[in-house]
Structure 1
Amino acid sequence: MITIDYQSRIPIYEQIVERFEMLILKGVLEPDDQMPSVRSLALQLSINPNTIQKAYTQLEQQGYIYPVKGRGNFVSGSGKLAEEKKQAFFQDLDALLAYGREIGITQNECRNYIDQYYSEGGES
């Protein structure tokens, strides 16, 4: 479910956060699904439990998961989070398109690139 790139410059806890965010946003982990326990995930990934706890704390602060005392962590509803991520994406895309226009990229070039990207399996 979660893989870590030990060669990456991205801290391990951030990699864990990113992987769980994507699993939640894609619907692989559904609302109210129980998250793996800190201890079991730490054993599975062969990393310090404090690293997992740090990632879970960040996921909780961002609204992806919620704790239940004595039972563990569970996935929050991701509808609002997914919408926020989409809005952030489109804001970034607006900036990229403006930059592309400034350097002479045409609307047709953008369309062709997007069509090619999705036809080559870029769509999940």
Structure 2
Amino acid sequence: MQLHITTADGVPIYQQIVNQVKYMVASGRLSPGDEMPPIRVLAEQLIVNPNTVARAYRELETAGIVEKRRTAGTYVSEQGSPLARKERMKILTERVDALLAEARQMDVSFDDLAKLLEKRNESMTPPDG
């Protein structure tokens, strides 16, 4: 599991961990039942205080994304699929909002943008056969 932490954007480190794990679950890079790294191991990898990782794991557990198994570690929750869909839609909504804002700034009409999306979708759809 590769996480990238930065101190430049002002987002608390524990929140960066939470956000990235949510994204990995939503995108399918982490699947239900996958084991999370132990707190100390992840803290060493990220060069952060273990309490920071523990706080992130508590937040993820509260959100139902991970679950602790006594003496066995922390795992991606089996009930992650509805959350995964919700997270995917949230991520895509943010990207769509950014795309619409950029199109407006470039004076591209919604109709032209919709045509571009349709054209790009067609070019990325594999041919039947």
Query: TM-score, normalised on structure 2?
Result: 0.71
Q: 1:86 to 1:21 in 2, by over 3 A?
A: closer
Q: Percent identity?
A: 30
**Runs of at least 5 residues in structure 2 that lack an aligned partner in the other structure:** 125-129
Indicate which of 71, 84, 87 corresponds to 2:86. 84
> SS of the residue aligned with 1:30?
coil
Runs ≥4 residues deviating over 6 A: 89-94, 116-119
Partner of 1:8: 9
Q: Give the CA deviation at 1:28.
A: 1.2
**Change over 3 Å in CA distance of 1:30–1:109 after alignment to 2:** same
Alignment length (residue pairs)? 115
Residue identity matched to 2:86: E
What is the distance in 1 between the residues matched to 2:37 and 2:81?
22
Looking at structure 2, the residues matched to 6 and 90 of structure 1 have their Cα atoms a distance apart, in angstroms, of 25
Kindly state the Cα deviation for residue 110 of structure 1 after the two structures are TM-superposed: 3.6
Cα distance, 1:79 vs structure 2: 1.3
CA–CA separation in structure 1 for the residues paired with 2:51 and 2:6:
18
Alpha-carbon distance, 1:107 to partner: 3.8
Structure 2 CA distance, aligned partners of 1:62 and 1:50?
18
- Please point out which of 96, 99, 111 is paired with 1:108: 111
**1:22-43 deviation per Cα after TM superposition (whole angstroms, max 9, x unaligned):** 1111111111111000000001
Q: TM-score, normalised by structure 1?
A: 0.74
- Shift of the alpha carbon at 1:88? 4.8
Output aligned runs, 1:1-124, within 5 Å: 1-77=2-78, 78-86=80-88, 88=90, 106-112=109-115, 114=117
Name the CA distance, whole Å, in 1 between partners of 2:121 and 2:17: 27
